Structure 1
Amino acid sequence: MTISDQKAFDSILSMAQNMLRLAAERAQTAVTPEMINKELKKLAIMMEEDFALVDRDALVDELIRRSSRTVGENATLSSGDGHIAWLDAERKKGWTYWQRYSEYMEARIPWIALDALDLATDEVLSQLEDPTREGAWDRRGLVVGHVQSGKTGNYTGLICKAADSGYKIIIVLAGLHNNLRAQTQIRLDEGFLGFATISDADELPAVGVGLIDNDTSVRPNAATNRSDKGDFNTAVAAKMNISPEQRPWLFVVKKNKTVLERLLHWIRNRVANYVDPVTGQKIVTNLPILVIDDESDHGSVDTGEDVVDDFGNPDLEHQPKTINRLIRSILHHFSRKAYVGYTATPFANIFIHDRGATQEHGPDLFPAAFITSLAAPSNYVGPGRVFGSASSTPDDLPLVRALPDDQFQPWMPSKTTTSPEIKPHKNGHHPRWKGEDRVPDSLAEAIRSFVYACAVRKLRGQGNKHSSMLIHVTRFTSVQSEVVNQVSEYLRYLKGRYTRNIELAALEASMRLEYEATFLPGMQMIRVALVEGETLDDFSWSDIRSVLPDVLSDIRVREINGTAKDALDYVENDGTGLKVIAIGGDKLARGLTLEGLCTSYFLRTARMYDTLMQMGRWFGYRDGYLDVCRLYTSEEMVEWFGHIADAAEELRQEFDNMVAAGATPKQFGLRVKSHSVLTVTSRAKMRNARAMQLTYSGDLLQTIVFPNRKGDITANLNATDRFISTLGPSKDLNHQLFVPEGQKWNGHLWRDVKALSVISFLREYRTHTASFRIMSPLIADFIEEMNKDQELTKWTVALIGKEQPGTEKSVGGVMVKMLDRRRAAEHADRYSIKTLISPRDQAIDLTEAEWNAALELSQKTWRNDTDRNEGKERPSEPRGPQIRHVLGEGVADAGIPARRERGLLMLYLLDPEGADVDDLKGADPIVAWAISFPSSTSERRVSNSSYIANSVLWGGINDWVD
């Protein structure tokens, strides 16, 4: 498609989208193909010349795809301290920057997503202060999105609205590297400024919103430019003078000591208009400032020690770390200020001490005013959908190719290798595969996968779109350079064979078999599992073969690191689409967007939640080509990402419950899962996190890691047999206090089981050492502690079997059908699964009133967030966190008392034959269990470091509950 064709397509698309929106509102129905055809017929008459340039079928497909999208609901915790509500419809009249940005985005995103963007940016802006409000004010907040989910688009919209409403200085803190800063500048040139900030140019050409509204009198001022060296510098500072009458100024700067010091010096000496007579501090009173901190968990968090004294009072003499100190100092020089951090991984931000402050730098960056959690649109593909979660797990991971260690080691030995002969690689490592200077077979396969992806996209008419491959296997630049040479050599080999037809027969035969037997079926699996509202064509090998020479000729290899001179020149290749294999480390790890990312080969072994999640460049939007995307990574990384998906979901569910309860950010005490190898965030950033006296209140625990030694399995079965034998006669599991209509159970039920029996069972049950969250003796200790407050004294025990036909086994004198659970990953020393329980199991033996109250709360906290695997419809049965909340808190208005004395223990037998583990053949049934603990305000704890709490939690989170 030529540039003129694309413009015509975008123009018709934007107009059609608006017409359909109105038609759907009039008809009060969803958009239908008939409605699309009707509106396009009108446009064919109105825009005859444009219509002659475009493919009508492609227009219809795009409109159908866009019409099928949904966006979930955002949630906000906020504090009204010192805040005056101000944003209403009257205040928004005549806004220019938002209007043109909205129009610019119409052709790029579905109207439902545009409406959601409008709503979300209004929500955030309303939490800030009216920039025209006199006097001193300070609002600090945090926006939590999903990785690669469009946070830049969100804060661009916020910047437009902030400028419209009267914020005069807007500073965007854009990462630690020049290329990320430049990429952000380009995005803001297009979405806010309206002109290309080209250094030393006589004229700055209009781009993006500037092509929609070419009135140069409304152009904002730019203090930085889009070149790699376009950051704020001394030469720029010397020329700049600002007065309140001028248009807003935009600064896009790195989180860099020198840059921020220059900016601070300029503010003190060129902008400040008042000197505090007491402190002598120079202050800006006439210009309201908005600071947007992109990736606010990275570089901005103070990692210094002891920000408060032993009594929780701020240490006014504390010296924060450099970047944190400079950001706070910049804010501290303005009397009217707003700070908004954006991140997908808030694990570091929640450890900022809520009372940290110093005389010189002002308060720390804790989001005291608000925290907003953004829901993902239905076409977002994130960790929850790719890797599954504890509550929803795909049987297979169609996007993921999990690599055993022997498929990339010793080519690139990792820190987590289980082989004592293989040592982790260091700087200067020479990667070799089978003794040769070449890529391993698994990377060669990944490169071919990228070639197929480019070919399919070309055949689908997406040949002028960017397509990228990420190779991230080491942080050492010297090693990256060797990988670049090996990848380039393999690409030359493929290109030479297909462009010259020399010695091609064997290669083509193997690639044809790979495409037809693996890649094409994989495309079809992904469409079934993850693609909605799109019709994506398949192609035969002969079709693929016909475009391979051109595809291979177009692919470029780029080394992206601090020493290489390569660049991802997407902008320069906008018309033709860049086809690039990007090889790098830290520069590719965070923030930098890889346009059209199709294939990832990722072996880097980060050990922290936030670092690992941010490295997930493959998350995001893949409209029109999701089925050709592939991720090659280690089996261990797949497990880690599954663990992270659970940690992120637990954080969001706790957040939702607190929003429902009307809590504020300072009352938001967070607990974040720990892991045997992963840490939550860097230890330095957790300087305000203390190893907790642990509580399991409000938690669901389930065994997912088991010994594969037959002696341990038999011991656990015997312990369970003894436990059940002491419980007396059972009821049929269908004889619960309330069984929803249409539900049927297989199994047995015991009520009012004494806590001592449960404690004895847990002390006897052998958990695997790799099961760091499920430690039976510690859980037994916790129940004993809670018994001292007369909580968890009466237990409901359920032995749950499969409803479908299956093998029955006897335990404790009763029969139950065994469950089938395939292993999640191959381990020599254990059998691990993705998830144990069915979501409905947590509702066993609730009263009808409790069931309905938990359902009502589940519906109230449902966000329709695709990546959280919540389902497309509002819940029709209660979810676990809400069940535990109702049991622990009761519902006074409905006359439902709390039942904190009641715990729920769920027992299962897993069939060893269905585990797909050789060591388990012929073993006894594997006993698995789950416990659901009601929430509690009890101060009882057991000592453990499995959870880390922020200062708010250990400072008295339960105050707000009372």
Structure 2
Amino acid sequence: MSIAQTLMRGESDENKSKVVLIAEKLKLSMSLLAKAELKEVDFDAALAELVRRMSHFMPADTTMKDNTGHVDWLTPERKAGWRYWERLARHLERKLASTVVDQLDKSTDEILELLEDPKREGSWDRRGLVVGHVQSGKTSSYSALICKAADAGYKIIIVLAGLHNNLRSQTQIRLEEAFLGYETSPNREPGKPIGVYWEDSDPTIHPHCATTREEGGDFNTAIAKHFAISPEERPWLFVVKKNKTVLGRLLKWIQGHHVSNTTDPVTGRRIVTNLPLLVIDDEADHASVDTGEQLFSADGVPDDDHQPKAINGLIRKILYSFSKSAYVGYTATPFANIFIHRRNETKDEGPDLFPQSFIKNLSAPSNYVGPARVFGLKGPNGRVGGLPLARDISDQVDKLDGKPLATGWMLPKHKKDHIPVYAGQEILPPSLREAIESFVLACVARACRGQGAEHSSMLIHVTRYNRVQLEVHRQVEEYVKRMKQRISRRVDHEATLASYKRLWDDDFVPTCEAMAQVVQEDGGPQKIPSWDEIAEQLPKTLAEIHIRKITGTAKDTLDYFENKDKGLKVIAIGGEKLSRGLTLEGLCSSYFVRTTKMYDTLMQMGRWFGYRPGYIDLCRLYTTQELVDWFGHIADASEELREEFDTMAAQGAKPSEYGLRVESHPVMLVTSPLKMRTARTLKLSYSGSLAQTITFLTDEETLEGNLDAAKALVAQMGKPTEEHPARKRDQKAESWKRSLLWKDVGSDAVLEFLRSYKTVPGLSRINSSIITEFIEKMNSLQPAHLTRWNIALLAEGPAGKPFAFANDVVVSTFPGRINTGGKDAYRIGVLTDPADEAIDFEYEQWKAALEKTKETWKVDPARNRSEKEHEAPSGKQIRNARMAGAVGLPAPGLLMLYPLAPSGAGEAVPEGWDRPIMAFAISFPSTEGGDGVKVEYKVDHLYWEKEYGASE
């Protein structure tokens, strides 16, 4: 298959998708190997896999950089003779599409070029951040970067691999395959050849390694005493935990080693000048960020007596011990890293870890399944483009008349001695029993599709307490054991078989058929096995399933490697040890009821994102509706973050400018205030953003008051500038047949409305008092901003009881927005239709926003971004165009008023309430100088923990 891919390289993109041509190249590759001793080749399976691979593509990355002090150096001539990368590329092509490997090559070249030439004389220090998607191949990226860095001449490579032994051990094993080419042994001597060794077995290029895959294989004092490094030697690899003791040992060895050959004349510290250092920080937002609050003088000078948190300080000291150093953080949740202060520095630790040199947003291959694909993206009528894979669960908590009680199998908040009890017995709830059966069926169906030798995993993540996990493990083990006995012995097996058949017929068959219509990149629809095929394979597959508890030790890395020939089928039970970095190979089913709403923590817990070639239709996520909603918010926030990044990168912005922008953006309140280095206050800016109410207070007094605020505003504005606006557009004209628009309204009227409108209290993206303060500050600038407003009353919806505002303004239709918050709250997914943000745009301004959208658009299936021609501008570019369209005048803001139909709120509104529920959205222009205007918000930590959960 690797040879066939090589033969396809010269073909056009169009030809690469032709099955006949792929089959021809596969037959040719088989004939080239005819004289070799080959095992039996399954031609059809090989062809299907190649067709799948050839349908994949890899979008380009986006990079923001600051080249101050940097010297360009990476030329084709400089890369001549590099062998570490060449053997890794050949190794990867055994599993990945050649197009994906080619893009990985290009992407890591760009990262390496942004570092410094290790052969460059003098002192230099480069710090960057690579942002990927959860479970999207970040390890492949930094493995390739390590190979190229070693080729280029970096001598010491330190990989910071999480907080737990299991993740460190997993990372060690992966780098043995991708970089070392041998299994590490306790005596640090090269062991059994693996991975890249078989692509180039020359022992003269084998890297050295100071750590091993064992439980106690981390860097320790005994190792430090028994080896030395000289500049002429092959590169040394250290794979270490982010642990105070381990990092302290490593720092002591570096500082006490004979290569520490120079003393800094200013600080007196000893530094290494002849060994270029590369530090790779995996999960860089976890433990590496200094959560201590450093003080700064009025002119921004940091307090030199500040003591950083232990791990952050040790990482910085290690970097500061080398005159030539490069630091590259990898994460899928970069929020905390972006919030690092850009000028932090202390005399002992040196600069903080802000990615001053570059931030790179990695694209994911077209077959990546991430939050935007699983849950879709927000739209005014609900989420759009999601996959039908989530299953709602609610039986983990006891209920009475539909309301949750303080008892149940797994309460949202429970103690460490909690005993999971369902219906008075220590047994699994029906939802978890079904989830386990769905996992078994997924394994069976994969076997029927020829994937029986592939790994298959199930994740059960319901608690962070080890003792409670033991109870869950015992119950799961007991349940699976009984199933195995019934099926294998065929005693009392009828009910079990009937349950499996019901789940297959009612869930799997229709879901597989539906997925075949929406998932196109896997080389065509997957075979749906018949029930007879499933029933025949069931006993064998069920017998192969193992139950494991993941506690964080190296023994818990799950023995995927040892079972690579037959495939490990495992149900993994764990808590926070599963939530960071640890990869569950072939993850098919997830059962997830953790309650944190912290965006970065929750995203990292989403281990089910990743690649599911040939079995995505068999995957299932069993979780609560509330968590589905929150993961939807994550998809939206991540997309907004990436769109902001794409726009600023296209404008040539530097990482420091992006940090300032995101740090003050209200949508990015996505990580603990502690990680934002501001435990007391948040500083927000609304410039260039869309603020919209999506959660509403529904007591009668608030509903009445917010409606009165809108009525007063309409009365103050007088006769509308336009009734039923209509606008020329490229494809077809847009019209708002029941809406009204007022232009050039003074900011006083808008401020009065906001002061009267009551938003949900607590930490929220939209807060009327904070928005009011922001507008007031913008008004006070010289020249003044946000003094002019256009205001739209948007009443596009089904007919209802007419409602009179003022000045003969009567609304007879209410926009409908469905409640996702249940009986206790009125919460909607999204309020504003993107077209509404341009209701006040004439054609030329709208067209300018559309052209900018096309310029910055990247095809990216992982973000639900297709190749289709754009028919309308993005909200981001509409807000940019507000400024561009206001020549000689302050850019107008747009306030949109939505009188929502009360029927959409269901039982969340008082009985008998038949008037509109008043909602609003504001489209803030991207105003020059506006980014610098921020308003402070006092953080209520009790509210934060109640709403988002404790920081983890």
What is the TM-score with the length of structure 1 in the denominator?
0.89
Pairs within 5 Å for 1:581-596: 581-596=571-586
Task: Give the equivalent residue in structure 2 for 1:483.
Answer: 472
CA offset digits 1:253-283 (Å, max 9, x no partner): 1112222222222222333222345644222
Pairs within 5 Å for 1:426-575: 426-530=415-519, 532-534=521-523, 535-562=525-552, 567-575=557-565
Q: CA deviation at 1:916?
A: 6.1
| CA distance in structure 1 between the aligned counterparts of 2:35 and 2:617, rounded to whole angstroms | 34
Pairs within 5 Å for 1:16-95: 16-24=4-12, 31-48=17-34, 53-95=40-82
1:774 and 2:766 correspond: yes
| CA distance in structure 1 between the aligned counterparts of 2:892 and 2:939, rounded to whole angstroms | 24
Task: Give the equivalent residue in structure 1 for 2:650.
Answer: 660
Task: Give the equivalent residue in structure 1 for 2:614.
Answer: 624
Secondary structure at 1:581's aligned position in 2?
strand
Identity fraction in percent: 49
- Within the candidate set 786, 789, 803, 1:795 is matched to 789
1:872 and 2:864 correspond: no
Task: Give the equivalent residue in structure 1 for 2:369.
Answer: 381
1:859 and 2:854 correspond: yes
Q: Could you say if the C-alpha distance between residues 785 and 429 of structure 1 is closer, same or farther in structure 2, counting changes exceeding 3 Å?
A: same
Pairs within 5 Å for 1:184-203: 184-200=171-187
Task: Give the equivalent residue in structure 1 for 2:726.
Answer: 735
Q: CA deviation at 1:577?
A: 0.6
Task: Give the equivalent residue in structure 1 for 2:690.
Answer: 700
Amino acid aligned to 2:745? K
Q: CA deviation at 1:144?
A: 1.1
Amino acid aligned to 2:334? P
Task: Give the equivalent residue in structure 1 for 2:827.
Answer: 832
**Which segment drifts farther, 60-69 or 794-803?**
794-803
Q: CA deviation at 1:819?
A: 3.8
1:645 and 2:635 correspond: yes
Q: CA deviation at 1:716?
A: 4.9
8 Å CA contact 1:469, 1:597 repeated in 2: yes
Amino acid aligned to 2:174? R
| CA distance in structure 2 between the aligned counterparts of 1:248 and 1:423, rounded to whole angstroms | 49
CA offset digits 1:535-572 (Å, max 9, x no partner): 21112322222112112111111011157965511111
Task: Give the equivalent residue in structure 2 for 1:4.
Answer: none
Amino acid aligned to 2:350? G
Secondary structure at 2:193's aligned position in 1?
coil
1:121 and 2:115 correspond: no
Q: Could you say if the C-alpha distance between residues 116 and 802 of structure 1 is closer, same or farther in structure 2, counting changes exceeding 3 Å?
A: farther
Structure 1 vs Structure 2 CA RMSD:
3.1
CA offset digits 1:410-437 (Å, max 9, x no partner): 59xxxx9785997831111111111101
1:934 and 2:925 correspond: yes
8 Å CA contact 2:91, 2:195 repeated in 1: yes
Secondary structure at 1:348's aligned position in 2?
helix
| CA distance in structure 2 between the aligned counterparts of 1:683 and 1:932, rounded to whole angstroms | 26
Amino acid aligned to 1:774? I
8 Å CA contact 2:795, 2:811 repeated in 1: no
Alignment gaps of 5+ in structure 2 = 942-952
CA offset digits 1:741-767 (Å, max 9, x no partner): 313323334241523444444444454
Secondary structure at 1:164's aligned position in 2?
helix
Q: Could you say if the C-alpha distance between residues 734 and 109 of structure 1 is closer, same or farther in structure 2, counting changes exceeding 3 Å?
A: farther
Q: CA deviation at 1:218?
A: 1.1
Q: Could you say if the C-alpha distance between residues 176 and 74 of structure 1 is closer, same or farther in structure 2, counting changes exceeding 3 Å?
A: same
Amino acid aligned to 1:236? I
Amino acid aligned to 2:316? R
Amino acid aligned to 1:928? A
CA offset digits 1:859-918 (Å, max 9, x no partner): 232232333333334644211112212322x28xxxx73764412233444444456658
8 Å CA contact 2:188, 2:209 repeated in 1: no
CA offset digits 1:344-393 (Å, max 9, x no partner): 11122122221122222221111111111112222111222223343582
Q: CA deviation at 1:142?
A: 0.9
Q: Could you say if the C-alpha distance between residues 670 and 787 of structure 1 is closer, same or farther in structure 2, counting changes exceeding 3 Å?
A: closer
8 Å CA contact 1:796, 1:905 repeated in 2: yes
Q: CA deviation at 1:778?
A: 4.2
CA offset digits 1:193-233 (Å, max 9, x no partner): 11121334876222111101111111111111122221122
Pairs within 5 Å for 1:266-345: 266-270=253-257, 271-276=259-264, 279-306=267-294, 308-345=296-333
Q: Could you say if the C-alpha distance between residues 130 and 811 of structure 1 is closer, same or farther in structure 2, counting changes exceeding 3 Å?
A: farther
Q: Could you say if the C-alpha distance between residues 315 and 722 of structure 1 is closer, same or farther in structure 2, counting changes exceeding 3 Å?
A: closer
**Which segment drifts farther, 807-816 or 154-163?**
807-816
| CA distance in structure 2 between the aligned counterparts of 1:905 and 1:920, rounded to whole angstroms | 27
Task: Give the equivalent residue in structure 1 for 2:168.
Answer: 181
Q: CA deviation at 1:333?
A: 1.4
- Within the candidate set 141, 148, 151, 2:128 is matched to 141
Amino acid aligned to 2:32? M
Q: CA deviation at 1:53?
A: 2.4
**Which segment drifts farther, 142-151 or 920-929?**
920-929
Q: CA deviation at 1:152?
A: 0.5
Amino acid aligned to 2:790? T
What is the TM-score with the length of structure 2 in the denominator?
0.90
Task: Give the equivalent residue in structure 2 for 1:3.
Answer: none
Q: CA deviation at 1:943?
A: 4.3
Q: CA deviation at 1:802?
A: 4.8
Pairs within 5 Å for 1:809-958: 812=805, 813-814=809-810, 817-824=813-820, 826-873=821-868, 875-888=870-883, 890=884, 897=887, 900-913=890-903, 923-936=914-927, 937-938=929-930, 941-945=934-938
| CA distance in structure 2 between the aligned counterparts of 1:523 and 1:675, rounded to whole angstroms | 39
Secondary structure at 1:155's aligned position in 2?
helix
Task: Give the equivalent residue in structure 1 for 2:948.
Answer: none
Q: CA deviation at 1:830?
A: 1.8
Pairs within 5 Å for 1:580-619: 580-619=570-609
Pairs within 5 Å for 1:368-447: 368-390=356-378, 393-394=383-384, 398-404=388-394, 407-409=395-397, 424-447=413-436
| CA distance in structure 2 between the aligned counterparts of 1:768 and 1:306, rounded to whole angstroms | 32
Q: CA deviation at 1:942?
A: 4.5
Task: Give the equivalent residue in structure 2 for 1:9.
Answer: none
Q: Could you say if the C-alpha distance between residues 689 and 435 of structure 1 is closer, same or farther in structure 2, counting changes exceeding 3 Å?
A: closer
8 Å CA contact 2:184, 2:190 repeated in 1: no
Secondary structure at 1:934's aligned position in 2?
coil
| CA distance in structure 1 between the aligned counterparts of 2:723 and 2:446, rounded to whole angstroms | 56
| CA distance in structure 2 between the aligned counterparts of 1:232 and 1:285, rounded to whole angstroms | 22
8 Å CA contact 2:295, 2:303 repeated in 1: yes
Amino acid aligned to 2:476? V
Task: Give the equivalent residue in structure 2 for 1:956.
Answer: none
Alignment gaps of 5+ in structure 1 = 1-12, 949-962
Q: Could you say if the C-alpha distance between residues 602 and 860 of structure 1 is closer, same or farther in structure 2, counting changes exceeding 3 Å?
A: same
Q: CA deviation at 1:821?
A: 3.2
Q: CA deviation at 1:471?
A: 1.0
8 Å CA contact 1:256, 1:323 repeated in 2: yes
8 Å CA contact 1:819, 1:909 repeated in 2: yes
